[in-house]
Amino acid sequence: MKQVRDKSFVPFIASATLQERIKILAQEINKDYGGKNPLMIGVLNGSFMFLADLFKSIEIECEITFIRVSSYQNTESTGKVKQILGLKEEIQNRDIIIVEDIVDTGMTMQEILGQLASQKPASIKIMTMLFKPEALKVPLKLDYVGFEIENKFVVGYGLDYDGFGRNLDAIYVLKE
Ligand code: IMP
Ligand code: MG
């Protein structure tokens, strides 16, 4: 059992299981993007550990960068806007792979996808380490999924609870 702040978490996906799956995902990228040089865009903070391990098994020519998504901001017109911060690269005509730690409601990914797609990349695909199908609220096509999980709160391997727990080398689920 692991204590993160005021909550207890129990083992959910072991480190070896994660690493095994990540190797397979990397092989899929190596196969699908042979002869291309995609740009992987990791969404901070959660994706840093997953993408670091994945990237080590990428054998094609591939670039990497990271973005951050600002929290919801009120605007007079739309009410809610999430802004992408930190993207310096030109993505027009590039093959883009967005890499997330987890897709929950899908709202964050939908927003990122819309904003990046408007910059006219050659192609755009989504990879997420974890996906909670039951929580999904918007239509979203996920191209590479590490693990589909139940709609429960998880921490570790980059994922946080209140900023903590990211350092755990495996995924843990909230104890019931
Ligand atoms: P979405 O917009 O609802 O899909 O939420 C995506 C973001 O919420 C992720 O990038 C995570 O930062 C966070 N999140 C969703 N579920 C969990 C969880 O179970 N543990 C930790 N963070 C989560
Ligand atoms: Mg995240």
Residue 9 in any domain: the answer is no
Nearest residue (CA) to ligand 1, atom 15: 104
32 is catalytic: no
Q: How far is the CA of 35 from the centre of ligand 1 (A)?
A: 33
Residue 144 in any domain: the answer is yes
Element at 20 (helix H, strand E): helix 15-32
For position 71, what pLDDT does the model report?
73
Q: Report CA-CA distances (Å) from 162 to 7, 63, 82, 88, 159.
A: 10, 31, 20, 29, 10
For position 37, what pLDDT does the model report?
97
Ligand 1 proximity of 159 Cβ (cutoff 6 Å):
yes
Tell me, what CATH number does 65's domain have?
3.40.50.2020
For position 88, what pLDDT does the model report?
93
Q: Report CA-CA distances (Å) from 171 to 101, 105, 136, 150.
A: 11, 19, 20, 13
pLDDT tier at 82, thresholds 50, 70, 90: confident
Model pTM score: 0.95
Number of domains in the chain: 1
99-151 tens-digit pLDDT: 999 999 999 999 999 999 999 999 999 999 999 999 999 999 999 999 999 99
Residue 168 in any domain: the answer is no
**More confident position, 159 or 176:** 159
